[in-house]
Chains A and B, each alone.
Chain A
């Protein structure tokens, strides 16, 4: 069964350092999403890509966060510099983009970030 891959699974960093997360969506999925989930809350969308283009980054803190999906396949989310409040689970999801409705999103296992 096809899955969304993410790495690393866990990351511990000190504040002011840079961190990067990688996501490989399900093959053929045109739409890719990055979410942040703080403990006790639901996932919140950070950025959405359609192929290589950003279609929604309204909730992305652009002063420190950046995301790219250069070839429209895998994607990288970067935080620089990391702050204590960035400690959270970072989830990647993908969807066919032309399926549904609804265009069901499939999630990866996430990266647990701890900022010390």
Chain B
């Protein structure tokens, strides 16, 4: 049972434009959602989170939107920079257990 799904394996955008990464979930018991970024040969790095009772959280260039009725969340990066090129994982948490999606490879072209 794939509780968290990222349907786009890859995304390519131009520097300075907006990157939108999407994530769908099936588990209604998730109380928080988190985004992690992963560079090659490194572990995932925490980026931003959102409570299930919120619909938006913003931190600098990163904004996460949650549509609870659609069980969908998205991460917006504005403006995108070449250093943002990485694999982005969406994860839901119930208690302390994290359930990850498959990841989306973001490439930001100069």
CB distance from B91 to the nearest CB of A (A): 7
> Is B4 a contact partner of A107 (Cβ separation < 8 A)?
no
B interface majority secondary structure: strand
Count of residues in B whose CB is under 8 Å from the partner chain: 24
Q: Does A44 contact B (CB under 8 A)?
A: yes
Q: Does B58 contact A (CB under 8 A)?
A: no
Q: Does B84 contact A (CB under 8 A)?
A: no
> Is B41 a contact partner of A48 (Cβ separation < 8 A)?
no
In-complex Cβ contact of A107 among B45, B51, B101 (8 A) = B45
CB distance from B3 to the nearest CB of A (A): 11
* Partner-A contacts on B (CB < 8 A): 4, 9, 31-32, 34, 36, 41-46, 49, 51, 89, 91, 93, 96-98, 100-103
A sample of 7 cross-chain residue pairs with beta-carbon separation below 8 angstroms, ordered by A number, consists of A33-B98, A40-B9, A42-B102, A43-B44, A43-B100, A101-B32, A104-B34
